Amino acid sequence: MSGPLVLVFLSGLFIVISFFIPRDPFPKVELWALRWYYIVVGFALLLGVDSLVLHHLRRIRRGGMQAFYSAVLLIGFFVTLVWGIVAWKQFGSPFAPHSHFLWIFMNVEVPLEATMFSLLAFFIASAAYRAFRARSFESTLLLVSAGLVMLGRVPLGQYVAVPLLSAFGVLLAFELYHRPVRTPLDRVLYRGGPVLVLLFSGILVLPAVFPQLAARIPGVASWILTVPQVAGKRGIEFGLALGGLAFGYRILFGMERGYLR
Amino acid sequence: MVAFSLWMALLMAAPRMDLQHTEGGVNVQISGIPVDSSWSLLRVVGTDTTSLGTLTVPETSFVDTTLPDTGTVTYLLRRPDGTYAAQAGLRLETAPPSESGEGETPAPPGWFNTDRAPILIFLILFGIAFFLFVQWTRAGRPIFIRKIAGLEALDDAVGRSTEMGRPILYVPGMTDLDTLPTLSALSILKYVTKKSAEYATPMLVPLREPLVMAAAQEIMKEAYLEAGRPDLYEEDRVYFTTVQQFGYASTVAGTMMREKPGAIFLMGYYYAESLIMAETGNTVGAIQVAGTPAVDQLPFFIAACDYTLIGEEFYAASAYLSQRPEELATLKAEDIFKALFVGMIALGSLLTSLGIPFLSKLLEVH
């Protein structure tokens, strides 16, 4: 074992031991190490600033449209830095009320972040369109369960669920019926499937006649979220826990060195 | 620098909570939470869950004064994204130690936290299986590991990018060097860099954390050297951007739109920004391979990427790619324990349904 690997082993083992021994010196040394970690992270930010400034200076030297964006970035960076230092000297903290730094933060940084976050709605819509296309049995199942969950989670859902799902059922039956039949399995799926879907759509009309059944749609949505969804998620989480543990063992015993130079 | 950073990173444990039962209530001390985020503290008593408020560094302690007289109290630490980071509990069966008692010295905590005994037993058992399989392969016996499509696709993605004459974009996640997902992402980075060096395809690596940047630069330099092409390494292609979550997402999305990479690798831990990156990558027509232990972000990657490493596949990547029998053997230990878990869940469910909660009580961790 080389020097860095010995250090990794000893420090990793210390953390594992301190997890089980709540008595000093273990918690104290752990806290000391934690403080040192934050000190290292703080100083490492200087490396980041160095990389950021040099990267954009090189791009400005190269010229072109990207040089303009890099110039905007560097001006923004230095203006914010200077105002931060000024506010620190004036008010004792850059985030003090009435400081110019706080004004920049609240009126530039926060709206920009909020804008990016808001764009997520459109990205979700386009990804959902791709994921929910009924190309296979699995994606159809996903589409139906997602539709039920969406209808069950909004107050208006239980009123519009019946006509929407019935109409969806008719469209799905039509789509399946027009698929080319190449194998005996296709015959079962694309000829028997539409009949089943139409029957299901017909059953769905019943809640329109008996409104108390429509009121159960939020319950169905909750069941999907708390039973099959959680079961799938926990399966993945078990795998992750074991995978993480094996990865940790490999690091601890020096078998995993990909992260080292 | 990297060795020192990694040493410090490994010293840094996951967020944790320490509880101290006093006359005034329970003092909850929290350590290891990031400086720039707000974390929530919840209390669970029986089936009742109560939110105790939000904690922001440097405020990392809370005194809970509204406690029941007896019973088990569990505290949960919730991340800003809604996932749980740590939990700790205690039984309120005895009176708390007196603070006013003159001459009384509080007894120091014991040498072993018995509440965590099941975890220790599990760690030991897993360790035994781990080393048994390593010895098994050292003796020259073969083991079978199933093919992982996402990892098989890494070479194809690099090859496709080379054919198209476009660069490769590698994003190693949102977390710092003190987390397993980032370490795993860096291991995969080394493999991908070596491949790209063999084909002389440029690689772009925008980064969010300065420590990860320092590690990534060293790893890539080494990978280019191992591939025999140190002349191709350019430090300007492995650069720091911003620590802000959506600022970073917009940088990555902007790089995708401007540079039009042929292959995009999204490896590591992601939050809400995952879909912004994956959808933008899909828009530019790049072949995308993603891998994350963030279960909530997996559906987004599955919808928008060509290949996704699900669950433990992400952590298995470095062992799988190295193809060293010793490392592959550790994956076998995982499989054995997964089968054991399935058996215990089935047996535990059956016993609990029959009114015998022995197994669930045995595995309870406070």
pLDDT given at position B6: 37
- My answer on whether A139 and A112 are in the same domain is no
At B96, is the pLDDT very low, low, confident or very high (cuts 50, 70, 90)?
A: low
Tell me what the mean pLDDT of segment A232-257 comes to: 90
- My answer on whether A192 and A98 are in the same domain is no
pLDDT given at position B219: 93
| A98 three-state secondary structure | coil
Determine which of A23, A51, A57, A112 to mutate to test the interface with B (most B C-beta atoms within 10 Å). Answer: A51
Do the Cβ atoms of B333 and A243 come within 8 Å? no
Residue B300: closest C-alpha in chain A: A127
Each residue of A150-168: b (16+ CB within 10 Å) or e? Answer: ebbeeeebbbebbeebbeb
| Residue A207 in tokens | 């809640």
pLDDT given at position B22: 73
Judge whether B61 and B28 are in contact, CB under 8 Å: yes
- My answer on whether A87 and A188 are in the same domain is no
C-alpha dist (Å) from residue A40 to A33, A43, B104: 10, 5, 41
Q: Of the spans B20-34, B57-71, B178-192, which averages the highest pLDDT?
A: B178-192
Judge whether B277 and B245 are in contact, CB under 8 Å: no
Does A16 contact B at CB distance below 8 Å?
A: yes
Residue B2 in this model has a pLDDT that exceeds 70: no
Does B252 contact A at CB distance below 8 Å?
A: no
Tell me what the mean pLDDT of segment B173-186 comes to: 92
Tell me what the mean pLDDT of segment B130-135 comes to: 88
Domain annotation covers residue A235: no
**Segment 43-102 of chain B within 8 Å of chain A by CB:** none
In this prediction, the answer to ipTM > 0.90 reads no
- My answer on whether A98 and A153 are in the same domain is no
pLDDT given at position B57: 60
Do the Cβ atoms of A11 and B10 come within 8 Å? yes
What mean pLDDT value characterizes chain B? 83
Q: Of the spans A221-230, B21-30, B95-104, B161-170, which averages the highest pLDDT?
A: B161-170
Which residues are bridge partners to B168 per DSSP? B203, B263
Q: State the residue range of the domain holding A160.
A: 133-226
Q: Please state the domain extents for chain B.
A: 15-98, 149-322
Report how far residue B37's alpha carbon sits from residue B255's, in angstroms, rounded to the nearest whole number.
26
In chain A, beta strands by DSSP E: none
Q: For the domain B149-322, what is the CATH code?
A: 3.40.50
Residue A63 in this model has a pLDDT that exceeds 90: no
Does B110 contact A at CB distance below 8 Å?
A: yes
Q: How many CB atoms lie within 10 A of CB A102?
A: 18
Task: Kindly report the backbone phi and psi dihedral angles of residue B324, in degrees, each rounded to the nearest multiple of 5, phi listed first.
Answer: -80, 125
Question: Which has more confidence, B32 or B331?
Answer: B331
| Residue A195 in tokens | 């009949």
Determine which of B312, B321, B337 to mutate to test the interface with A (most A C-beta atoms within 10 Å). Answer: B312
Tell me what the mean pLDDT of segment B128-141 comes to: 87
Residue A6 in this model has a pLDDT that exceeds 50: yes
Domain count, chain A: 2
What mean pLDDT value characterizes chain A? 84
Q: How many CA atoms lie within 13 A of A206 on its CB side?
A: 10
The topology (CATH level 3) of B15-98 is: Immunoglobulin-like (2.60.40)
Residue A122 in this model has a pLDDT that exceeds 80: yes
Report how far residue B237's alpha carbon sits from residue B234's, in angstroms, rounded to the nearest whole number.
6
Contacts of A128 in chain B (CB under 8 A): 303
Which residues are bridge partners to B49 per DSSP? B44
Residue A206 in this model has a pLDDT that exceeds 70: no
Which residues are bridge partners to B171 per DSSP? B266
pLDDT given at position B34: 61
Task: Kindly report the backbone phi and psi dihedral angles of residue B43, in degrees, each rounded to the nearest multiple of 5, phi listed first.
Answer: -120, 135
Question: End of a domain among A60, A90, A123?
Answer: A123
Report how far residue B186's alpha carbon sits from residue B199's, in angstroms, rounded to the nearest whole number.
20
Report how far residue A34's alpha carbon sits from residue B32's, in angstroms, rounded to the nearest whole number.
7
Residue B366 in this model has a pLDDT that exceeds 70: no
Report how far residue A120's alpha carbon sits from residue B272's, in angstroms, rounded to the nearest whole number.
8
Question: Which residues lie below 8 Å from residue B196, measured CB to CB, with a gap of 6+?
Answer: B158, B161, B162, B168, B202, B203
Closest CB to B211 among A15, A36, A44: A44
- My answer on whether A105 and A148 are in the same domain is no
At A144, is the pLDDT very low, low, confident or very high (cuts 50, 70, 90)?
A: confident
Residue B11 in this model has a pLDDT that exceeds 50: no
- My answer on whether A91 and A197 are in the same domain is no
Domain annotation covers residue A188: yes
pLDDT given at position B210: 93
Report how far residue B231's alpha carbon sits from residue B238's, in angstroms, rounded to the nearest whole number.
15
By the 10 Å C-beta count (0-12 exposed, 13-18 middle, 19+ buried), A115 is classed as: exposed
Do the Cβ atoms of A243 and B313 come within 8 Å? yes
Do the Cβ atoms of A116 and B247 come within 8 Å? yes
Q: Give the model confidence (pLDDT) of B311-323 as tens digits.
A: 889 999 888 888 8
The residue assigned the tokens 């976050």 is A117
- My answer on whether A49 and A70 are in the same domain is yes
Asked whether this chain's domains B15-98 and B149-322 adopt the same fold, the reply is no
Nearest to B245 by CA among A242, A116, A124: A116
Task: Give chain B's radius of gyration (CA, Å).
Answer: 24
Q: Distance, in angstroms, between B290 CA and closest chain A CA?
A: 15
- My answer on whether A24 and A71 are in the same domain is yes
Q: Give the model confidence (pLDDT) of A194-203 as tens digits.
A: 788 777 767 6
- My answer on whether A13 and A36 are in the same domain is yes
pLDDT given at position A68: 92
Contacts of B6 in chain A (CB under 8 A): 4, 8, 259-260
Report how far residue B44's alpha carbon sits from residue A24's, in angstroms, rounded to the nearest whole number.
29
pLDDT given at position A137: 74
Residue B83: closest C-alpha in chain A: A237
- My answer on whether A24 and A116 are in the same domain is yes
Residue A260: closest C-alpha in chain B: B219
- My answer on whether A11 and A117 are in the same domain is yes
Task: Give chain A's radius of gyration (CA, Å).
Answer: 29
Q: Distance, in angstroms, between B115 CA and closest chain A CA?
A: 9
Q: How many CB atoms lie within 10 A of CB A247?
A: 27
Question: Which has more confidence, B180 or B33?
Answer: B180
Q: Distance, in angstroms, between B64 CA and closest chain A CA?
A: 21
DSSP letter assigned to residue A189: I
Tell me what the mean pLDDT of segment B153-159 comes to: 93
Report how far residue B53's alpha carbon sits from residue B211's, in angstroms, rounded to the nearest whole number.
31
Residue B1 in this model has a pLDDT that exceeds 60: no
Report how far residue A123's alpha carbon sits from residue B279's, in angstroms, rounded to the nearest whole number.
6
Residue B85 in this model has a pLDDT that exceeds 90: no
- My answer on whether A95 and A26 are in the same domain is yes
| Residue A4 in tokens | 């860095």
Report how far residue A59's alpha carbon sits from residue B156's, in angstroms, rounded to the nearest whole number.
31
pLDDT given at position A213: 64
Does B17 contact A at CB distance below 8 Å?
A: no
Judge whether B32 and B238 are in contact, CB under 8 Å: no
pLDDT given at position A172: 78
pLDDT given at position A1: 62
Please tell me the least confidently modeled range out of A9-23, A238-252, B2-16, B335-349: B2-16
pLDDT given at position A66: 85
How many inter-chain contacts (A to B, CB under 8 Å) are there? 235
Determine which of A29, A52, A240, A259 to mutate to test the interface with B (most B C-beta atoms within 10 Å). Answer: A259
The identity of residue B118, as a single letter, is P
Nearest to B3 by CA among A199, A245, A60, A40: A40
Does B214 contact A at CB distance below 8 Å?
A: yes
| Residue B308 in tokens | 């996704």
Do the Cβ atoms of A242 and B312 come within 8 Å? yes
Three-state SS annotation for chain B:
CHHHHHHHHHHCCCCEEEEEEECCEEEEEEECCCCCCEEEEEEEECCEEEEEEEEECCCCEEEECCCCCCCEEEEEEECCCCCEEEEEEEECCCCCCCCCCCCCCCCCCCCCCHHHHHHHHHHHHHHHHHHHHHHHHHCCCCCCCCCCHHHHHHHHHHHHHHHHCCCEEEECCCCCCCCHHHHHHHHHHHHHHHHHHHHCCCEEEEECCHHHHHHHHHHHHHHHHHCCCHHHCCHHHEEECCCCHHHHHHHHHHHHHHHCCCEEEEECCCCCCHHHHHHHHHHCCCEEEEECCCHHHHHHHHHHCCEEECCHHHHHHHHHHHCCHHHHHHHHHHHHHHHHHHHHHHHHHHHHHCCCCHHHHHCCCC
Q: How far is CA A35 from the centre of its chain?
A: 29
Contacts of B8 in chain A (CB under 8 A): 33, 36-37, 40
Domain annotation covers residue A180: yes
Does B146 contact A at CB distance below 8 Å?
A: no
Tell me what the mean pLDDT of segment A108-124 comes to: 92
Please tell me the least confidently modeled range out of A45-59, B46-60, B180-194, B281-295: B46-60
pLDDT given at position B8: 39
Report how far residue B345's alpha carbon sits from residue B359's, in angstroms, rounded to the nearest whole number.
9
Contacts of A255 in chain B (CB under 8 A): 326-327, 330
At B35, is the pLDDT very low, low, confident or very high (cuts 50, 70, 90)?
A: low
Do the Cβ atoms of B187 and A128 come within 8 Å? no
Tell me what the mean pLDDT of segment A219-236 comes to: 90
Report how far residue A205's alpha carbon sits from residue B104's, in angstroms, rounded to the nearest whole number.
74
Contacts of A244 in chain B (CB under 8 A): 180, 293, 312, 315
